[in-house]
Structure 1
Amino acid sequence: MEQNLFDDKAKQGLQLLFDHYWILRNEKPEWYQLIREREKVLRRYIDEKFGLRLIIHRHFAKLEKIPVEPESWMGIQHFQEPLDYAIFCCALAFLESKAVDEQFLLSEFCEEIRAEFPGELSLDWTLYANRKSLVRAVQVLIDFKLMKQIDGDVNKFDNNQEEEALYQVTTYSRYFMRSYPEDLFNYEEWNQILNEEWEMQTDDERRKRVYRKLFMSPAVYRNDSNDPDFLYIRNFRNRINDDIEKHTNYHFSLYKNTAMLTVPEPKAYHTLFPNQKASSDLVLQLSAFIHEHIAVYPRNEWGEVILTEEGFDQILLEMKERLSLGWAKLYREGTLQSVRKELLSVLEDWLMAEYEASMGIITLKPLLGLLTGVYPQDFREGVVNNGDK
């Protein structure tokens, strides 16, 4: 009977499924067992609220998390270039052609990927950039447990294309990619895949869109006066709040232009803002600066502050003059352009800003204004006493 109740264990299972790509039985047996024990209630809730697929395999548990709209931060963070993804996908095809537990050499791996690589330009392992992309792809394959390193070190390959290593195919390599209704070659554009996803959701599409946005994005914004997703959130806010409180450990918050989930008791595996990175200080101080000069930087109907690049740089310059003594060395000694680039990258990842580089326009989003931070009055004295750390 207990397994049919959405209790604290079910709450934990739901959170684990959302916070991890998958739960491997060999790696986290207690997490896997918890999800197996609450499979019935988890599957029912996930299908009803999100329309997502929960896979319970004898080796792993996995929730296929398909967003309403893809965001830049949803990619593989270790990857730096599109080439990394291309090599990674070729590697997945290579692994699928192998038997589970079959071993192979790095040289064979490289040759097969080079032979199968699509596009007009072929891979050339004499080029450092190509080798570096392969190293990053292999590291991610190992991190996801899609293949196991037996001997050697792929990191040496970036400096020596003759470097050898031995790997082994794992069971998980067969299950990394999700299944699609159609052959991928039948799609001409990536958004066709997302559109087909919603064609399969015949019931309660609006609710499923809203829940996916709330659980997969830092914030949900009101984009216009008749935004159907935000209207749904506003009209059913009490029901949503009660449901999230009952089934999760998150806290639901609704403002005029923003809806969001926060976590009162974060876990070590959570990706949080603010965090311990120096960039968090700058983001919080930027918000405080805008609040302090609200008459100079008025918000539009959607709670946004629109700035030119020059206007944004002027804010950074004033912040630097007043606060840089407490900044990390990277920002304190960096150029205005480098600080702007780093800060905008963080703001965009957390949906706190949009940057239209072609027009030189920076839009600060409402979420930025919900979090502020300032140094204590005596921070200069503390920096001087503690030295440059």
Structure 2
Amino acid sequence: MEAGQLFDEKAKQGLELLLHHYWILRAKQPEWYQLIREREKVLRRYISDKFGLRLIVHQYFIKLEKIPVEPEGWMGIQDFQEQMDYAIFCCALSFLEGKAVEEQFLLSELCQDLQGDYPGELPLDWTLYTHRKSLIRVMKVLLDFQLIRVVDGDIARFDHNEEQEVLYEATVYSRYFMRTYPDDFSAYRHWEELLESDWKMNQEDERRKRVYRKLFFSPGLQRGEQQDLDFHYIRNFRNRLSEDIEEHSDYTLHIYKNTAFLSTAEPRQYHKVFPTNQAVSDLILQLSWYMHQQPERFQPNESGQVLLTKSEFERMVEELRQQFQQGWSKAFREKSVSAVCADMLGEMKYWMMAEADEAFIRIRPLAGVLAGQYPKDFQEGTANE
């Protein structure tokens, strides 16, 4: 059998690259592009069979259209801060649709077009600082995705001057950023219809494809109700899943009573893994350890979640501060308890370790998988620094 037909180490590397990058640009990553092209057939077959996803191979790029089972807040564009950012971004994509490859345009031309297309209740007003900052964030993302390039000028100056000009150029990638849909996009009335249209084309082995997407596209998978069919599938086919995942990737499947997730022993530079190098990860590990030490106080429900009021969560963090703050970073030592709680909760939501509403905070099972504490002599070490 030819090398291109085998799922070998090159194919594993190709799958890894596709899973962790929006797209592979031939001009920017020629070696990655060539590697995937050499293993295109076996990758396309595996991705279609296990994930039910499209692998697009273009002369300028390669793209795996990654469609989640359930959209999560952390799946958005991390540089965006407001709904306005997304609205302007979509309007900018529409503007670029009308531009030829390498056609140049001025920032003022784009600004005028955005004002005409913007769907918000209040119109865009470039004399407003918040609107200009939103556009700056959008232009940065367009540049990061290689949808445009700067010919002359600096968008940062638009921060203080709405008359600032920048000359841009549309790239060949700008018309391929949005994924294609089976029906006219305007026919969809709700985002859920977009997901439903995808599953209509993936009815064969739908359960398996749902499970693979959840495991590979999310930090972890939590058992929902008693009859959670996705989690039930993982429990029933755990051996087959583990063997297949380890054979085709560098990940290991871990399954607990209420959660399942993938881990890697050797994270790559472009991986997002927990714990991170940020100090907030240390606090979350300490929180997990602290809860493990008091099982009577923190009893999980049937789904493995620990339900806390916001005041209970703050009290727990205050207790952690009193016990460990000598080892905390200077920034966290100086913050108020409520500010520390906000940072921790935001990070835990990102990693699907917690969810919150106006009344309660739910610590999810994934938060209890890893725990950590300082060594017993850490206070001596900090005192000697």
Superposed displacement of residue 74, structure 1: 0.5
Structure 2 counterpart of 1:58, one-letter code:
Q
Match status 1:363 vs 2:362: yes
- Where do 1:25-36 residues align within 5 Å? 25-36=26-37
Superposed displacement of residue 271, structure 1: 0.7
Superposed displacement of residue 320, structure 1: 0.7
In the other structure, the counterpart of 1:176 is: 177
Q: SS of the residue aligned with 2:173? A: helix
Match status 1:142 vs 2:143: yes
In the other structure, the counterpart of 2:272 is: 271
In the other structure, the counterpart of 1:333 is: 334
Aligned equivalents of 2:375, 2:308: Cα separation in 1:
28
Structure 2 counterpart of 1:361, one-letter code:
F
Superposed displacement of residue 63, structure 1: 0.3
Superposed displacement of residue 379, structure 1: 1.7
In the other structure, the counterpart of 1:383 is: 382
- Where do 1:30-69 residues align within 5 Å? 30-69=31-70
**RMSD of aligned residue pairs (Cα, Å):** 0.9
In the other structure, the counterpart of 2:191 is: 190
Alpha-carbon displacement from aligned partner over 1:12-40 (angstroms, at most 9, x marks no partner): 00010000000101111000000000000
Superposed displacement of residue 183, structure 1: 2.0
Structure 2 counterpart of 1:327, one-letter code:
W
Q: Which moved more, 1:78-87 or 1:219-228?
A: 219-228
Superposed displacement of residue 147, structure 1: 0.1
Structure 1 counterpart of 2:124, one-letter code:
L
Superposed displacement of residue 120, structure 1: 2.9
Superposed displacement of residue 115, structure 1: 1.6
In the other structure, the counterpart of 1:116 is: 117
Superposed displacement of residue 380, structure 1: 2.0
Superposed displacement of residue 164, structure 1: 1.1
Q: SS of the residue aligned with 1:261? A: strand
In the other structure, the counterpart of 1:17 is: 18
Aligned equivalents of 1:145, 1:186: Cα separation in 2:
29
Aligned equivalents of 2:28, 2:104: Cα separation in 1:
21
In the other structure, the counterpart of 1:76 is: 77
- Where do 1:221-240 residues align within 5 Å? 221-240=222-241
Superposed displacement of residue 263, structure 1: 1.0
Aligned equivalents of 1:140, 1:335: Cα separation in 2:
33
Aligned equivalents of 1:227, 1:104: Cα separation in 2:
52
Gaps of 5+ in 1: none
Q: SS of the residue aligned with 1:173? A: helix
TM-score (norm 2): 0.98
Q: SS of the residue aligned with 1:275? A: coil
Q: Which moved more, 1:109-118 or 1:247-256?
A: 109-118
Gaps of 5+ in 2: none
Structure 2 counterpart of 1:213, one-letter code:
K
Structure 2 counterpart of 1:204, one-letter code:
D
In the other structure, the counterpart of 1:200 is: 201
Q: SS of the residue aligned with 1:18? A: helix
Superposed displacement of residue 113, structure 1: 1.1
In the other structure, the counterpart of 2:247 is: 246
Superposed displacement of residue 180, structure 1: 1.1
Structure 1 counterpart of 2:218, one-letter code:
S
Superposed displacement of residue 166, structure 1: 0.9
In the other structure, the counterpart of 2:304 is: 303
Alpha-carbon displacement from aligned partner over 1:179-224 (angstroms, at most 9, x marks no partner): 1122222122111111121112120000000000000011111112
User: Aligned pairs, how many?
Assistant: 384
In the other structure, the counterpart of 1:92 is: 93
Q: SS of the residue aligned with 1:85? A: helix
TM-score (norm 1): 0.97
- Percent identical among aligned pairs is 56
Alpha-carbon displacement from aligned partner over 1:269-313 (angstroms, at most 9, x marks no partner): 111110110110110000000001111111222221111111111
Aligned equivalents of 1:97, 1:329: Cα separation in 2:
51
Superposed displacement of residue 382, structure 1: 2.3
Aligned equivalents of 1:82, 1:269: Cα separation in 2:
27
In the other structure, the counterpart of 2:221 is: 220
Aligned equivalents of 1:301, 1:228: Cα separation in 2:
16
Superposed displacement of residue 110, structure 1: 1.0
Structure 1 counterpart of 2:196, one-letter code:
N
Superposed displacement of residue 129, structure 1: 0.3
Q: SS of the residue aligned with 2:56? A: strand
Q: SS of the residue aligned with 1:362? A: strand
Aligned equivalents of 1:279, 1:94: Cα separation in 2:
40
Q: SS of the residue aligned with 1:134? A: helix
Q: SS of the residue aligned with 2:127? A: coil
